[in-house]
Structure 1
Amino acid sequence: MDLPLNLTLAIRNIFKKKTQSIISILGLGIGVGCVFLLMLLYIHENSFNGSIPNEQLIYRVLQGNDCRTSFPLANTIKDEIPLVDNYFRYYQTADIELKDSRNEIQQDHRFAFADASIFDCLGIQFIQGKPAQTKSDVCISQAIAKKYFNSTEVCNQFLKIKLNNQFISLRITGIFKNFPANSTFNANFIADIDLTQEVLSHNQKMYGHYGQENEEFKDWNHFPFHSYLLLNPKANPEAIVHNIQNYKERTNHEQRKTMDFSLQPITDIYLKSAEVNGDTFTPAGNSKQLIYFLAIALFILLIAIVNYIFLTKAKIGVRLKELGTQKALGASSVSIKKQILLESNLISFISLVPAFFILALGIPFLNATLDRSLSFELFSMWQVWSLLIIIILLTGSVAGMAIGIHVSKVSTVLLLLGKVSQTPKIKSWNNSFLSLHFTIFIVLIIGVITVKKQLHYAQTGSQNINPENIIICELNSPELSNQFNVIQTEVGKIPGVMNSAGSSFIPPFNNFLPVNLQYENERIQFDGLIMGEGMIELLELTIMEGESFGNFRTDQTEMIFNESAAKKYNLKAGEIFNGCYVKGIVKDFNAHSLRRMIQPMVILQQDPKKMSLFAIKTTGKNDKTITESVQKIFKEISPDKMVRVYSLSDQITEFYQTEQQQAKLISAFSLLAIVLSVMGLLGMVLNTISIKTKEIGIRKVNGAKTYEIISMLNKEFAKWIVIAFLIACPIAFYVMNKWLENFAYKTELSWWIFALAGIIAIGITLLTVSFQSWRVATRNPVESLRYE
């Protein structure tokens, strides 16, 4: 039988059973689309920094598991160690304020500071101009030039940037091409590294009374910079690492002297920095999460292929006489296999239509959920097309061969009788695949519920702290800090405001503030907070002993410790510790995310004139009006400052962005798993019904009721769901327990989560099976008896 005839027959058979063909195409399309979507994500995540020239020769310097290094380190390495060809230091801020061409204040992101050599090392191309080389220069990206000037011909024009609480004019010396989406460098502005002094001095001011203004950051004792080295092709990285260990002794920082240096390849930064500290401004991926998502996609593809096999078996069941006739007329087993294989691959290729639909929806969904920048530009890579063809051919061929080999072995006589075996009884092995479908489905449902339950617990169950109805405003100018008492008085007059207080840090927050104190001739590091009077009451922290802060005193430093610190170091309220007065002891509370155990903590009191944050406790009824009123008060005091207002609940939510992403993606995959499980169930029901049609007709003739037939078929399928539930529960329990280990404080894996997943699975099964059973059970028995 030649190819054109086989193709004609394949197309005819696809259209002959339109419903089953559509289900097959949609099922395969969903499976292929999911796999391919996450394959694209996998390719994208593993391509970071791969476009940098000589990327295999560029390394980031680590000390211990910290990527922050001192200012002199990189240039000293370059000067003193052979075969280090170049270097650059890098620092980046989160948000900056600038004045646009209309002199209006705007907020922008990713303002970086670096040595001019960054452009040579990373191969950054200039559209116009050259790097910034003095403290009064800046380079901007192509996107920023178009955003603020609507042109890339802007060299020698000026930008007014707010650094260290004042706007300074920076001359634009160059416009560079935008960093690619798969780069760990994403700066919009790159100023000279010496200008970092302005930002770091400003950051120290958040410590208020305890800050060190105008501190020199260019020595060996401060570690804010990322250092990158470009090695000579002849260099041995291990030898370089050995040589730079000597620089540990140049610092006075005792802990740093014990931390060994190492070199991290620039291509490893994105996916292999989970254990690296200080990576606050570098985009980072999650290799474990990536493998996890890929595994889910492969399971979905497995379900889709199994679905297709059973749907096709149900469809082939009514074509057995046709295939038998072909065999009787001389068609060989090989030609039968080829025909079924061709039909399977044709359906597989047609499934590209829904697969691309999944991609069209999935790419924006992944970008929004994971904050990525996937695009269809990835299809310009030959690897992507090769992967696509392999997946399609593999999917179609596996499904086609599984059916073709089985059917081609059946004798001509049996095929002409419409049978594939002497025994009409369906094999348990076939329906056992239903357990595979629903095992994966139940595990995903349990995962979704557990992740969302933990997120709710993390956002609402912070131990011994009440984050509800708290609005936070930044006192980000000297005028606002100096007028703290005036602001507090005016805010107190706004309806709906219960009380207010100032602080430098408001828990829970992400950063860790180390405070070193002396205890029995030993230097002890505490987790630290700096709060103003009234903040402990505003957060509803519990005073266990002593009292909260009163009026700020300049003649004596007062401290409040948490109960962990009090127990560990036997502290009592009213005592003197480290030369400071112990004002009180508070009950332990989560100052950071629930991933971190509560540590011994000391709370220092902030000077009211040096606050950096202002918190307002409201009734929660008119927060929008309160926010507008506060912004108006702030603008009257400091007109040239943008007022940033956010809620403490939003701050907590940001801690768990990774878990929120996981919840969204697992929910999406679970929805697809439900669809595919129903399709698979439908295929098995159709397969069973095609075999049992005559039996059902005989039962009907002998007086069987419709509900009895429906019950008979439901019992046959329900047992496989029960088996799936028994298999899924221990798997889900183990997997989710491992996931919950990421949290020091976590919710419980309640029994109702497993019960709910089982009820959903059995409910879907009963509805699907009952509908199909009802259709066949209500048919005329004569039609059923004529089926074979």
Structure 2
Amino acid sequence: MIAYNIKSALKSLFSDRKFTLINVVGFAFAISVCLAISLFLLQEYSYDGYHQNADRIVRIIDSNKNSSNIDYRVKDILLETFPEFEDACLVQRETSPTNINIGNKAFRISDIMSVDNHFFNLFSTSFLSGNPSKPFENINSAIITKSKAKQLFGSENPIGKEILFERTNLLTITGVIKDFPANSSISAGLLLNAENDDFKFSFSCEKYSDKSTHRWEFRIYALIGADIDRSVLSEKINSKLGSLKPYINKIGFLPIKTMYLYDSTIGSHSKRGNPELLKLLIAIAFIILMLAVVNYINLALAQQNKRNKTTGIKKSFGASTSDLFVHFIIESVIVSAIAFILSIVLVYALSPLYTSVFGSSINIYSLLDTSVLLGLLVCIFIIGCLIGLVPALVLSKSNLNDIIKKTSTQGRNQSYFRNALIIFQFTVSVVLMICLLIVQKQISFVKNKNPGFAEEHLLCLSMPYLPKKEKSNAQLLVSELSNYPFFKNISLTNGVPGHINFTMGSGIENTDKEISVPCLIVDTAFISTFQFKIVKGRNLEPGDYRKVCMINESFYNFFEFTNLENKRFNNYRDGGLEIIGVVNDFQYGSSHNKIEPLCILFVENSNYYQLNIKIAANSFPSAIKTIKEKWEEIMPAYPLTYQFFDDWFDQMYEKEERFAKTIGLFALLAIAISCFGILGLAIFSAEQRTKEIGVRKVNGAKTYEIISMLNRGFSKWVAIAFVIACPIAWYAMHKWLENFAYKTELSWWIFALAGVIAMGIALLTVSFQAWRAATRNPVESLRYE
């Protein structure tokens, strides 16, 4: 019986090829979206779960400061004082590109971490060469990954090879490990020994500080004993901080398995996911699948009259309602199965597009995993049963007398139901379209908003970490470039607006307010290079080295200053810093947040890691050529890397750009699936009204009149969908824009434009079919009837 039902279902599907094709293609796109999103979600939610003891590994944080920057001495104190900790390790990631030399070759790499030997006890790593029990043989040992070894040494054996790190430390490769998995938030290509004091100092964000007074802050990861209650343990530690007190205010734990998605601490320096994007993708997958389901139900119900003849014949030969029900369910399962096979091809073909949207590649080969494939097949079977449920119930219960008489009392109710489903489809499409337009408008707004300084024609060079004997080369480069007229201003800094990695706790004399503020380490040319306005006081001068600082207007207002007389930081070295000037508020962070207090500090001969050059308009080719020549002349051992500042500044909005890409892609898919459905209904409507169209043509109806008649119903449904979609989209975007301190307006024309686009797409979809029906020879239409 099953074989007969399958054969009969296939025959029915092939007899209505147009509708079957529409259903299969729509479902294939919907399932491909769901598969791609599922693969991405599996990857994102599996981060750091591959470690053997992932459930017991935590990062130590300072809860009071919401910071992951912890003094390295905390590790040993915890292990000695609290037996609940089985092990702990130090981890510090370099935040800017670093120069290494191998023989005569120079490299500039950024995937470097400083760790201790305990790192390999906590985290699952596979050694290909070296001693796993003691990876670092001495403080100048280094561990390298397989891919990084190939990049640096080619096919040679890296064990025993020497690397000159920042032209100061000669390191020896003592181990090779497998690459960290893609779903690891803690990864690097080169691992250095954290017990080397030079790395503790050089890896710090406070590279200008004296080594003798430096705190040497790391990320500390700990392995907590099994069955230990973390909340009880943290309370125990905080109740008797003792020797920890100088180094941490209040201890907290961040589980490593949640770190990737939910880490909001300062100084994390590890990869972070976007949980909001994941929630959006889950909602989109559900919506896209629902649109395809609606298409199937709509087209199946639309064909009821057409299929009543077959149903009546089967009933007259004794087929029961349950037999017919099974037949229609088998049809829908077959459609789902074909669509599933096609969707795998689509996922593979569209994987570059999905990678661009997600910001991460998806592993399509995980679909070949037996458990995953089995789970997908079960899901496809369930979906097939569910989508066929409504048509099967309606079509299998058709009354035999109604079929013979060609009458039905359900026709009008089904028509209302189909119309409601079309309205639902276009409501979703219009909502997504409005959201896309508003997101793009907001991104354009924040990118084009006046940041409070001149960002045009600025080139940022990445400066190497120079050893003491070469520090003067930075100033020499500035001096040489200053001789050329197309270089308007040149400034050395640690950090620029949009990329500030250093914060400084500060208080003001004679006040009880304290604040932790982002701090820019700059030279005296910084203000003129970026063209900030000095609203009070004066600019930095060469004699101000480590004696004074400047602040922004928000800082000035926070402390409610009325003037700058005798205003000093009091929680700093040598009695504090005199505040000598106030600059205008400028955008140094994302537009999500209001402009907060900021400090600008002058540190002469610092290890600046950026050189910012203001170039005259229309002089870029000759300017860049000159920079390359002078760099090669003064610092030939270091590779030159540079970037235009406005491109770098715009990187703050990568999250929003990805959000817009996501909505854009899936809005197009939603519209395409909706159009498949409306096209199928247009074909059905034209076929059902063939006789009416022929009669109207014979009676002198014009082609455009018939096209208008066939389009009228669809236009009405899209208009109703637009009315429903507007308040939904307005509310959703109003809530989204609340995340921004500086935001665009929800302009009426965006809603109108989305409506016009939706109406245009719908009419274009159905008009061709309407035109074909309207231009058909009426004699053929009547003969056909």
Q: TM-score, normalised by structure 2?
A: 0.91
State the Cα distance separating 1:71 from its structure 2 match: 0.9
Measured against aligned partners, the alpha-carbon deviations of 1:376-435 in whole angstroms (never above 9, x if no partner) come to: 342254442243123311322122222121111112343356665475796222112122
Query: Which of 221, 228, 247 lines up with 2:221 in the alignment?
Result: 228
In the alignment, what sits opposite 1:415?
Answer: 403
In the alignment, what sits opposite 1:775?
Answer: 772
More off after superposition, 446-455 vs 683-692 = 683-692
Other structure's SS at 1:656 match: helix
Other structure's SS at 2:739 match: coil
Measured against aligned partners, the alpha-carbon deviations of 1:247-304 in whole angstroms (never above 9, x if no partner) come to: 64546669x43xx32222221212221x322212x12212222011111111001001
State the Cα distance separating 1:348 from its structure 2 match: 1.0
Query: Which of 525, 529, 534 lines up with 2:520 in the alignment?
Result: 529
Matched, 1:53 2:45: no
More off after superposition, 227-236 vs 151-160 = 151-160
In structure 1, C-alpha distance between the alignment counterparts of 2:227 and 2:397, rounded to whole Å: 63
State the Cα distance separating 1:709 from its structure 2 match: 2.5
In the alignment, what sits opposite 1:296?
Answer: 284
RMSD: 2.9
In the alignment, what sits opposite 1:350?
Answer: 338
Q: Which amino acid aligns with 2:317?
A: L
Preserved contact between residue 450 and residue 749 of structure 1 (Cα < 8 Å):
yes
In structure 1, C-alpha distance between the alignment counterparts of 2:423 and 2:113, rounded to whole Å: 54
Measured against aligned partners, the alpha-carbon deviations of 1:226-262 in whole angstroms (never above 9, x if no partner) come to: 22222232433333223322564546669x43xx322
Matched, 1:157 2:161: yes
Matched, 1:307 2:295: yes
Matched, 1:539 2:530: yes
State the Cα distance separating 1:643 from its structure 2 match: 1.9
In structure 2, C-alpha distance between the alignment counterparts of 1:30 and 1:326, rounded to whole Å: 34
Query: Which of 440, 443, 446 lines up with 2:434 in the alignment?
Result: 446
In structure 1, C-alpha distance between the alignment counterparts of 2:103 and 2:605, rounded to whole Å: 36
Q: Which runs of structure 2 are paired with 1:450-465 in the superposition (5 Å)?
A: 450-465=438-453
Matched, 1:278 2:279: no
Q: Which amino acid aligns with 2:363?
A: S
Taking a change above 3 Å as real, the CA distance of residues 562 and 202 of structure 1, as seen in their structure-2 partners, is same
In structure 1, C-alpha distance between the alignment counterparts of 2:602 and 2:450, rounded to whole Å: 23
State the Cα distance separating 1:362 from its structure 2 match: 4.2
Q: Which amino acid aligns with 2:254?
A: Q
In the alignment, what sits opposite 1:287?
Answer: 275
Other structure's SS at 1:548 match: coil
Where has structure 1 moved over 6 Å in runs of 4 or more? none
Query: Which of 134, 140, 145 lines up with 2:144 in the alignment?
Result: 140
Preserved contact between residue 34 and residue 297 of structure 1 (Cα < 8 Å):
yes
In structure 1, C-alpha distance between the alignment counterparts of 2:678 and 2:261, rounded to whole Å: 39
Matched, 1:575 2:565: yes
In structure 1, C-alpha distance between the alignment counterparts of 2:197 and 2:14, rounded to whole Å: 69
Measured against aligned partners, the alpha-carbon deviations of 1:677-707 in whole angstroms (never above 9, x if no partner) come to: 2112112323433444444344444443332
More off after superposition, 313-322 vs 339-348 = 313-322
Taking a change above 3 Å as real, the CA distance of residues 145 and 600 of structure 1, as seen in their structure-2 partners, is closer
Taking a change above 3 Å as real, the CA distance of residues 99 and 559 of structure 1, as seen in their structure-2 partners, is closer
Q: Which amino acid aligns with 1:666?
A: I
Preserved contact between residue 83 and residue 234 of structure 1 (Cα < 8 Å):
no
Preserved contact between residue 90 and residue 227 of structure 1 (Cα < 8 Å):
yes
Taking a change above 3 Å as real, the CA distance of residues 45 and 39 of structure 1, as seen in their structure-2 partners, is same
In structure 2, C-alpha distance between the alignment counterparts of 1:225 and 1:323, rounded to whole Å: 74
State the Cα distance separating 1:574 from its structure 2 match: 6.5
More off after superposition, 470-479 vs 54-63 = 470-479
Matched, 1:518 2:508: yes
In the alignment, what sits opposite 2:236?
Answer: 243
Q: Which amino acid aligns with 1:279?
A: S
Q: Which amino acid aligns with 2:428?
A: I
In structure 2, C-alpha distance between the alignment counterparts of 1:632 and 1:307, rounded to whole Å: 64
Q: Which amino acid aligns with 1:127?
A: L
In the alignment, what sits opposite 1:490?
Answer: 480
State the Cα distance separating 1:155 from its structure 2 match: 2.6
In structure 2, C-alpha distance between the alignment counterparts of 1:253 and 1:448, rounded to whole Å: 50
Other structure's SS at 1:271 match: helix
Query: Which of 717, 739, 744 lines up with 2:741 in the alignment?
Result: 744
In the alignment, what sits opposite 1:265?
Answer: 255
Measured against aligned partners, the alpha-carbon deviations of 1:722-763 in whole angstroms (never above 9, x if no partner) come to: 221122222222222222222222222222221211111011
Give ranges in structure 1 of 5+ residues lacking alignment: none
More off after superposition, 720-729 vs 289-298 = 720-729
In structure 1, C-alpha distance between the alignment counterparts of 2:684 and 2:211, rounded to whole Å: 79
Taking a change above 3 Å as real, the CA distance of residues 422 and 630 of structure 1, as seen in their structure-2 partners, is closer
Taking a change above 3 Å as real, the CA distance of residues 412 and 150 of structure 1, as seen in their structure-2 partners, is same
In the alignment, what sits opposite 1:200?
Answer: 201
In structure 2, C-alpha distance between the alignment counterparts of 1:91 and 1:84, rounded to whole Å: 20
Q: Which runs of structure 2 are paired with 1:26-175 in the superposition (5 Å)?
A: 26-64=25-63, 65-97=66-98, 99=100, 103-130=104-131, 131-151=135-155, 153-162=157-166, 166-175=167-176
Taking a change above 3 Å as real, the CA distance of residues 73 and 492 of structure 1, as seen in their structure-2 partners, is closer
In the alignment, what sits opposite 1:686?
Answer: 683
Taking a change above 3 Å as real, the CA distance of residues 761 and 153 of structure 1, as seen in their structure-2 partners, is same
In structure 2, C-alpha distance between the alignment counterparts of 1:573 and 1:584, rounded to whole Å: 10
State the Cα distance separating 1:607 from its structure 2 match: 2.9
Matched, 1:564 2:554: yes
In the alignment, what sits opposite 2:573?
Answer: none
Taking a change above 3 Å as real, the CA distance of residues 532 and 700 of structure 1, as seen in their structure-2 partners, is same
Other structure's SS at 2:217 match: coil
In the alignment, what sits opposite 1:600?
Answer: 597
Query: Which of 654, 657, 661 lines up with 1:660 in the alignment?
Result: 657
State the Cα distance separating 1:172 from its structure 2 match: 1.7
Other structure's SS at 2:195 match: helix
Matched, 1:504 2:501: no
Other structure's SS at 2:441 match: helix
In the alignment, what sits opposite 2:310?
Answer: 322
Preserved contact between residue 138 and residue 191 of structure 1 (Cα < 8 Å):
yes
Preserved contact between residue 694 and residue 786 of structure 1 (Cα < 8 Å):
no
Other structure's SS at 1:270 match: helix
Matched, 1:471 2:484: no
Preserved contact between residue 483 and residue 609 of structure 1 (Cα < 8 Å):
no
In the alignment, what sits opposite 2:384?
Answer: 396
In structure 2, C-alpha distance between the alignment counterparts of 1:276 and 1:561, rounded to whole Å: 25
In structure 2, C-alpha distance between the alignment counterparts of 1:286 and 1:609, rounded to whole Å: 35
In structure 1, C-alpha distance between the alignment counterparts of 2:138 and 2:378, rounded to whole Å: 54
State the Cα distance separating 1:30 from its structure 2 match: 0.6
Query: Which of 574, 583, 588 lines up with 1:586 in the alignment?
Result: 583
Q: Which amino acid aligns with 2:594?
A: M
In structure 2, C-alpha distance between the alignment counterparts of 1:187 and 1:695, rounded to whole Å: 72
Matched, 1:705 2:702: yes
State the Cα distance separating 1:342 from its structure 2 match: 1.5
Matched, 1:435 2:423: yes
Taking a change above 3 Å as real, the CA distance of residues 519 and 460 of structure 1, as seen in their structure-2 partners, is farther
Other structure's SS at 1:228 match: strand
Taking a change above 3 Å as real, the CA distance of residues 684 and 298 of structure 1, as seen in their structure-2 partners, is same
In structure 2, C-alpha distance between the alignment counterparts of 1:276 and 1:599, rounded to whole Å: 18
More off after superposition, 94-103 vs 454-463 = 94-103
More off after superposition, 399-408 vs 701-710 = 701-710
State the Cα distance separating 1:670 from its structure 2 match: 1.5
State the Cα distance separating 1:135 from its structure 2 match: 1.3
More off after superposition, 445-454 vs 756-765 = 445-454
In structure 2, C-alpha distance between the alignment counterparts of 1:91 and 1:75, rounded to whole Å: 16
Other structure's SS at 1:269 match: helix
Taking a change above 3 Å as real, the CA distance of residues 139 and 546 of structure 1, as seen in their structure-2 partners, is closer
Query: Which of 650, 669, 690 lines up with 1:672 in the alignment?
Result: 669
Taking a change above 3 Å as real, the CA distance of residues 738 and 624 of structure 1, as seen in their structure-2 partners, is farther
Taking a change above 3 Å as real, the CA distance of residues 512 and 592 of structure 1, as seen in their structure-2 partners, is farther
Preserved contact between residue 81 and residue 240 of structure 1 (Cα < 8 Å):
no
Preserved contact between residue 498 and residue 652 of structure 2 (Cα < 8 Å):
no
Paired residues, what number?
770
